[in-house]
Structure 1
Amino acid sequence: MENLKVSLIGVPTDVGAGVRGASMGPEALRVAGLGRAIAAFGAEVRDCGNLAGPSNPELPAVNGFRHLAEVAQWNLAVHQAVYAELSEGRVPIMLGGDHCLAIGSISAVARHCRETGRKLRVLWFDAHADLNTATMTPSGNIHGMPVACLCGHGPEMLTGIGGEMPAIRPEQIRQIGIRSVDEGEKRFLHDLCVEVFDMRYIDEIGMRATMEQALAGVDQDTHLHVSLDVDFLDPTIAPGVGTTVRGGPTYREAELCMEMIADTGQLASLDIVELNPALDHCNMTAELAVDLVESLFGKSTLMRMHRNYR
């Protein structure tokens, strides 16, 4: 970890969400000691501060999208910031903010991978599939659409941010912990052949086997991006989110996910999103998120070797 250079990028907006409050997420993560926790592993941590963008106008949906122009502005800023840090050989950590921001971060990662010839694997930890479109969405909230946009299904001002459409292919993503999927999304997931490890699957085969499958094929040439929506976690341990869904992973299951990712040694970028301090209890969800990030960067009970999941 001594040569690892990490950049924290705050993105204080809830413009893509239906519930206000995720805009305070970046500061809650800082208060919980995220930078210090990563630095403790020998990494050089640079806090880039917060990006600036339009305020939340709190308007109804127009043609199936809420706040499309504002979402596009924020995501363009995220794309540019994440791409700049990747170009310097750093590991960008995007502190959200709602999950619509993954359009900007992952499109930047995909662009970087195309230019450097690396394989991309996206691990999407979430209670929701986030594969809605304007015609399927029940709300118009764009934090329910980032996977669709990244796969090329959405308005060009979002799908084209990375300079190539689609930014990613469905086979590059693995979704883990899913337990709330809208009716239209179920068919769309099936049609796109997105690999989804929902909670029933995890219940049936266990988290270890699930993660082995999600990480299968990750090797030294793989850029591993983790997009962590804190509503992935069961709300009994992570109440500070605007879209809680019962029946999520336990603390130990979540830790195992992060520890197995650390075992690969290939983590190269990270989103932490949907943390809503207004709904939290004594910052416990932010502290849990920091705990999980520590495991991503190598915290473990015993010394462990890097491994490939073939």
Structure 2
Amino acid sequence: MEKDKQRQGITIVGVPMDLGADRRGVDMGPSAIRYASVQEKLSMLGFDVKDIGNLQVPTPETYDAGENQLKYLSEITSVSEELTQILDDIVSDGRFPLVLGGDHSIAIGTVAGVAKRRQRLGLIWFDAHGDLNTADTSPTGNIHGMPLAVSLGIGHPDLVNIGGFAPKVHPENIVVIGARSLDEGERQLIRDKGIRVFTMHDIDRMGMGRVIEESIAIVTDGTDGVHLSLDLDGMDPKDAPGVGTPVPGGISYRESHLAMEMLSNAGILTSAEFVEVNPILDRKNCTAEAAVALIGSVFGEKIL
């Protein structure tokens, strides 16, 4: 968090979205994170915490998926518009928005909401995937693989123009950390836009400390706020098995904490979301517990 707002109020909102992914269960992610005592953790750290509950999200059984390359476009657009307004209200109240997912398509609304009152937003995307697909490049048509592209103003107009403006972020103010599964269309977009992606190769070679130092420099260059979008599949599946699209060889539990601790020490974050916790695929809620532990580090919890 920003250093001059160390005890700023935190508002939690859950988005039980699973329309953006193929595998069911991620809609229970907000409940799993709450069950792992996220509010108690933050209260213990001295924050004024308000949990405003969950958005109402349609279930796949009650709607047709629609266009095969943009599944549940209308429903995801509607939820994203509502989430944008809620996040804008939280920011205007001077509180820190903490969003619990749900699949990563919710970032379309979170990024739009936190960007509305910023002149220029920095964005940290902690993820095994690029989420830079469009309807033309996606191998699945699942919108949870598109939110970063949408935030850049690339994709279907209904998604790109959520909140009434586009783009929400600029490529020079984005870092992707932990990437190890990129589609060819995403690789091309990364090259075309010059997006800084720290792959697992980079993390192995440079070390997480240097990766975060360089990331902080990028996302704070000319910006007036930084959003953290953390997909639990950025972590290695051994430490976070309860995710819908696990990819071996990910960021370790301790590396993840170091990243969050360094971001906390830098005092740059103005909003955050933790997504893709799927308790159906989990072991004794350990992925949600990992999410809560990382949230603790983001908000200043220390070993000593």
TM-score (norm 2): 0.94
Moved more, 206-215 or 167-176: 167-176
Match of 2:8 in 1: 4
Q: Counterpart of 1:228 in 2: which secondary structure?
A: strand
Structure 1 vs Structure 2: percent identity of aligned residues?
44
Deviation of 1:267 (Å): 1.7
Match of 1:42 in 2: 46
Q: 2:123, 2:169 within 8 Å by CA — same for their partners in 1?
A: no
Q: 2:173, 2:221 within 8 Å by CA — same for their partners in 1?
A: no
Deviations 1:287-306 (A, max 9, x none): 0110011000111124xxxx
How far, CA to CA, are the matches of 2:124 and 2:59 in structure 1? Answer: 29
Structure 1 runs (4+) greater than 6 angstroms displaced: none
Deviations 1:41-61 (A, max 9, x none): 111000001111322247556
Moved more, 1-10 or 82-91: 1-10
Q: 1:5 and 1:220, CA in 2 relative to 1: closer, same or farther beyond 3 A?
A: farther
Q: Does 1:232 align with 2:210?
A: no
Alignment of 1:1-310 (within 5 A): 3-57=7-61, 59=64, 62=67, 64-114=69-119, 119-216=120-217, 218=220, 222-302=224-304
How far, CA to CA, are the matches of 1:229 and 1:221 in structure 2? Answer: 23
Q: Counterpart of 1:282 in 2: which secondary structure?
A: coil
Amino acid at match of 1:149: V
Q: 1:110, 1:167 within 8 Å by CA — same for their partners in 2?
A: yes
How far, CA to CA, are the matches of 1:273 and 1:300 in structure 2? Answer: 23
Q: Counterpart of 2:60 in 1: which secondary structure?
A: coil
Amino acid at match of 2:132: L
Deviations 1:250-274 (A, max 9, x none): 1110000000000011221111110
Q: 2:122, 2:223 within 8 Å by CA — same for their partners in 1?
A: no
Q: Counterpart of 2:211 in 1: which secondary structure?
A: helix
Q: Counterpart of 1:138 in 2: which secondary structure?
A: coil
Q: 1:191 and 1:301, CA in 2 relative to 1: closer, same or farther beyond 3 A?
A: same
**Gap regions ≥5 residues in structure 2:** none
Deviations 1:9-53 (A, max 9, x none): 011120101111110000000000001101111110000011113
Q: 2:160, 2:167 within 8 Å by CA — same for their partners in 1?
A: yes
Q: 1:220, 1:266 within 8 Å by CA — same for their partners in 2?
A: no
Deviation of 1:220 (Å): 11
How far, CA to CA, are the matches of 1:39 and 1:265 in structure 2? Answer: 19
Amino acid at match of 1:264: A
Q: Counterpart of 1:94 in 2: which secondary structure?
A: strand
How far, CA to CA, are the matches of 1:264 and 1:120 in structure 2? Answer: 16
Q: 1:13, 1:56 within 8 Å by CA — same for their partners in 2?
A: no
Deviation of 1:3 (Å): 3.4
Match of 1:306 in 2: none
Moved more, 23-32 or 61-70: 61-70
Deviations 1:203-254 (A, max 9, x none): 1111111110000163897312110100000000100001000000111100
Deviation of 1:171 (Å): 1.3
Q: Counterpart of 1:48 in 2: which secondary structure?
A: strand
Q: Counterpart of 2:163 in 1: which secondary structure?
A: coil
How far, CA to CA, are the matches of 1:189 and 1:221 in structure 2? Answer: 21
Q: Counterpart of 1:240 in 2: which secondary structure?
A: coil
Q: 1:2 and 1:140, CA in 2 relative to 1: closer, same or farther beyond 3 A?
A: closer
How far, CA to CA, are the matches of 2:122 and 2:223 in structure 1? Answer: 10
Deviations 1:158-203 (A, max 9, x none): 1111221112111121100000001111111110111100101111
Q: 1:2, 1:42 within 8 Å by CA — same for their partners in 2?
A: no
Deviations 1:132-157 (A, max 9, x none): 01110100000000011111111111
